[in-house]
Structure 1
Amino acid sequence: MSGYQTGVLVFLAFNVIAAYSVYLPMAAGQLNLGIAGFMAIGAYTSAYLSNELGWSMLSSVPAGALASCLLATVVAVPVLRTHGIYLALATFALGQIIAAVFLNLEVVGAAAGYPVNEYVSPMVVVACAAGVVLLMVFLSRTRYGLYLTAIKNDATVTDLMGVNVRGMQISAFAIGAMVAGFGGALYGHHYSFIEAQHFNVLLSVFTVLYVLLGGTQTVLGPLVGAVFFTLLPEALRASDQWRYVIFAALIILMMLLRPQGLLTASLLRSLGGRKQGMQQ
């Protein structure tokens, strides 16, 4: 595999991790536009522990993910009192605040950026992304995933059935932030450098688009969306400066034709029925 292909594969792996960090709270009806902020927490925490305290990656990367999870658990209590567009604005503001803090924090380089000593190889990044996908598939087949879907469809009825809706929403928000922090920690250790400017609002918006374009009805939707968003611009590279215009036009066309996303539950059922028919 060439260096270019490896770079694209690693970029895809990071996009997949980010997509699933948005998908989990979205499965409970929450739109988190501050996901880049939680990625920044994971990246800077892990890098600081590796550089300054001598922690190994096996401990610093999970610690970065845990730091994002703990902060998300704390802020989820007031933030999740809002709903709809107000929740999106609240998480957007939270992400901006986190990025601004690191942009002015001298101990981790502030605006100049922060080098990271230890290095994570491309294959480790890809393996971790695959692990995140498997974890989400597993959660979708448990009662936890069923409860999240029920809350998204009708939180009031789900509450009447005895499900702790508030607790489930907080846990989905926190686990999603933990996945984002995990991705951010891997990002810092792979590229060996972190700058707060990378964790901006565009990163959060693009990540949400991965999920919306791929589809929120199935657990594989974010994977499809991340693959589409990552590989299509590379396939259009031959068109030079027009590739982003073509890419944007294709996104608009896709949302007009399939507003529910590329991958839906009905599509999976039909594909499964065809497979069974061919086997018979």
Structure 2
Amino acid sequence: MSGYQTGVLIILCFNVMAAYAVYLPLVAGQLNLCIAGFMAIGAYTAAYLTNEMGWSLIAAIPTGGLAAGGLALLVAVPILRTHGIYLALATFALGQVISAVFLNLEVVGAAAGYPVATYASPVAVFSVTAAIVLFVVGLSQTRFTLYLTAIKNDRLVADLLGLKVWGLQVAAFTLGAAIAGIGGGLYAHHFSFIEAQHFSVQLSIYTVLYVLLGGTQTVWGPLVGALFFSLVPELLRAGEAWRYVLFAVLIVGFMAVRPQGLVTPASLRRLGRLFRRKPAGVQP
């Protein structure tokens, strides 16, 4: 595999991790625009621990995820009292605050950025990404995701049925932030440099687009959305300056034809029936 192909797959992995960080709270109806901020917390925490404290990657990166999840748990009390566009605005503001803090924090380089000495290999990035995908897929088979979907469909009915709506929403928000923190820690150690400007709200918005394009109705939607946004621009590279125009046209076309996303439960069922169909002439 060439260096270019490896680089594209690495970017895909980070996009997949960010997409699943957005997906979990979105299943519960929470539009989180602070994913980039939680990634920044994981990145700076893990980088500081390996640079200044001599921690290993195996310890530092999960700790970065815990730091992001811990902050999410702390701010969930005031933020999750809002709903809809107000929740999106609250998380947007939180992301801006986090970015501004690291932009002015001299201990981690402030606006000049922060070099990271310890290196995370592509194998490490691929392995952690696979583990996160398997974790979320496994989680989707439990009642937890079913409860989140019920809350998204009708919060009041879910509450009347005895679901702990508040606790489930906090859990989804916190888990998403922890996944983002792990992704941020890996990003810092793979690219060996971090700067606060990278973790802007633009990154959060792009990540939300991955999930919305792929679809929020199944656990495979974020993966397909991340694949689309990561690989299609590279496939259109031959178009040079026009490739972004073509890419935008593709996105508009897909959203016009399939506003529910590229992957839905119905499409997965049709795909399953296609693979289960017996070849012609084969007797049972």
- The equivalent residue for 1:136 is 136
One-letter amino acid of the structure 2 residue matched with residue 260 of structure 1: Q
- The equivalent residue for 2:267 is 267
Deviation of 1:10 after TM superposition, in Å, equals: 0.4
Deviation of 1:270 after TM superposition, in Å, equals: 1.4
Cα distance between partner residues in 1 of 2:158 and 2:120: 42
One-letter amino acid of the structure 1 residue matched with residue 62 of structure 2: P
Q: Aligned with 1:74: secondary structure?
A: helix
- The equivalent residue for 1:172 is 172
Deviations 1:42-98 (A, max 9, x none): 000000011111111111101100000000001011000100000000000100110
- The equivalent residue for 1:226 is 226
Deviation of 1:276 after TM superposition, in Å, equals: 2.2
Cα distance between partner residues in 2 of 1:201 and 1:244: 20
Deviation of 1:161 after TM superposition, in Å, equals: 1.2
Deviation of 1:269 after TM superposition, in Å, equals: 1.1
Cα distance between partner residues in 1 of 2:195 and 2:140: 34
Q: Aligned with 1:124: secondary structure?
A: helix
- The equivalent residue for 2:196 is 196
- The equivalent residue for 2:157 is 157
- Structure 2 regions of 5+ residues with no counterpart? none
1:73-222 equivalence runs, <5 A: 73-222=73-222
One-letter amino acid of the structure 1 residue matched with residue 126 of structure 2: V
TM-score by length of 2: 0.97
Q: Which range moved further: 16-25 or 238-247?
A: 238-247
- The equivalent residue for 2:245 is 245
Cα distance between partner residues in 1 of 2:123 and 2:58: 15
Deviation of 1:126 after TM superposition, in Å, equals: 1.0
One-letter amino acid of the structure 1 residue matched with residue 50 of structure 2: S
Cα distance between partner residues in 2 of 1:130 and 1:74: 28
- Structure 1 regions of 5+ residues with no counterpart? none
Cα distance between partner residues in 2 of 1:46 and 1:33: 22
Deviation of 1:275 after TM superposition, in Å, equals: 2.1
TM-score by length of 1: 0.99
One-letter amino acid of the structure 1 residue matched with residue 240 of structure 2: D
Q: Aligned with 2:33: secondary structure?
A: coil
> How many residues are aligned here?
280
Cα distance between partner residues in 2 of 1:70 and 1:115: 25
Cα distance between partner residues in 1 of 2:269 and 2:253: 24
- The equivalent residue for 1:258 is 258
The answer as to 2:44 corresponding to 1:16 is: no
Deviation of 1:277 after TM superposition, in Å, equals: 2.3
1:41-56 equivalence runs, <5 A: 41-56=41-56
Deviations 1:78-137 (A, max 9, x none): 000100000000000100110010000000000000001100001110111111110011
Cα distance between partner residues in 2 of 1:119 and 1:20: 24
Deviations 1:13-34 (A, max 9, x none): 0000000000000011100011
Deviation of 1:146 after TM superposition, in Å, equals: 1.1
One-letter amino acid of the structure 2 residue matched with residue 190 of structure 1: H
Deviation of 1:274 after TM superposition, in Å, equals: 2.3
- The equivalent residue for 1:26 is 26
Deviations 1:251-272 (A, max 9, x none): 1111111100000011111111
Cα distance between partner residues in 1 of 2:28 and 2:20: 13
Cα distance between partner residues in 1 of 2:108 and 2:191: 16
Q: Aligned with 1:148: secondary structure?
A: helix
One-letter amino acid of the structure 2 residue matched with residue 231 of structure 1: L
One-letter amino acid of the structure 2 residue matched with residue 191 of structure 1: F
Q: Aligned with 1:278: secondary structure?
A: coil
Cα distance between partner residues in 1 of 2:269 and 2:77: 37
